[in-house]
Amino acid sequence: MIAVVGAGLMGAATAWQLARRGHEVTLIEAYDIGHRHGSSHGSSRIIRRAYADPFYVGLTGQAYEQWRELEQDSSTPLLRTTGGLDMGEDRDTKAIAELLSAAGVSHELLSPEEAAERWPYIRITGPVLHHPDAGVVDADRTVAACVRRAIEHGAEAIIGTRVTGIDVQGGERVLLRTDDGREVLADTVVIAVGAWLPELELPVPPPTLEVTQQQVFHFPQRDPSLRWPTLIWDGALHLYGLPSGSDGGPLPTFKVAEHDRGTPTTARTRSGVVDASSRTRVSGFVRDRLPGLEPDPVAEATCLYTTTPDEDFVLDRHGPFVIVSPCSGHGAKFTPLIGAMAADLATGRAEPHPRFRLGRTAFTRR
């Protein structure tokens, strides 16, 4: 039996992948499905192929295939194509375009004038990379679909129950104890607990992780009929933007947030209070660069990033444990692919990729 601890995006996707392959699976989640205590809640995440790293460009292609499989298996639409823009004085759009060309990914390099004509509600002063297949993933719906289909494929789900003890028996099997007195004996345990990973006492080498509290802001569209693309901006600020979905309220809004400058915290001690200085910076950016939006947010929220020093993921096996931490603020777009990779590790079908190993020492930021 394979136990999966954590039913956020990655744990839920792993349980789905394992169960649909016919494995005996027990999924354990400390909170309700779709809870807001971690990194997997909300209606909007960016999906794109525009990375400044050929390794991730390749992974995004595999991820798109897995998303379509999940949509088909669950009969649930999860992706919405909007197109995506990469820009900013520190964003090397030409280099990214070359990587997309090498991978056969559709894209356009546009001058400021060409881009401004197409998106007049964005103030554009530099070159723009347009990636038409970029879009938005509904995280809440994804978690719900994965858990539902995992159960329908035969998985057992233990919800609202926290793992409080982990004992390796004979070096092979693992006994999990929960806060309601339950004991679960597993041959393999997949740990997908997000920001709780640094606090979980595991008999494996701990990965180097930093947990930060981030904040996101939702700004009303001045023209509700416009279809906004996703946005990556690298300059004095490092931001991302995307259509909000239901998180922004009943009227069309656009979600904008800083990718960096989070406040160090832990999963247990996060304040949940939005950083006012981030609100000021993001609102200033909206006022200056996104004239198609009202500059005052109508909704805001906090979430957690769990970041490695090089921003690569942790996806490795150590004895009977598979550690799954596709994190660093860019993992959501890979959800069903990470589920497949974790399932391969749990069943011995594949070896960990060197860039995702627990013990890698060449931590250099991408």
pLDDT in tens, 131-170: 999 999 999 999 999 999 999 999 999 999 999 999 998 8
pLDDT at 204: 87
Contact predicate 213/262, CB 8 Å = yes
Which ranges of 232-334 does DSSP label H, i.e. alpha helix? Answer: 276-289
Dist CA 55 CA 11 (whole Å): 23
Residue 364 has pLDDT above 50, yes or no: no
Two tokens, residue 129: 């990379």
Q: Which residues pair with 29 in a beta bridge?
A: 159
Two tokens, residue 200: 């979980």
Q: How many CB atoms lie within 10 A of CB 162?
A: 14
Residue 338 has pLDDT above 50, yes or no: yes
Say if strands 321-325 and 188-191 run parallel, antiparallel, or are unpaired: parallel
pLDDT at 362: 45
pLDDT in tens, 52-108: 999 999 999 999 999 999 999 999 999 999 999 999 999 999 999 999 999 999 999
Two tokens, residue 352: 């960990």
Q: What average pLDDT does the structure give for the chain?
A: 95
Q: What is the dihedral sign for C-alpha 93, 131, 298, 329?
A: negative
The phi and psi torsions of 130 (rounded to 5 degrees) equal -105, 125
Residue 322 has pLDDT above 70, yes or no: yes
Dist CA 157 CA 124 (whole Å): 49
Dist CA 288 CA 291 (whole Å): 7
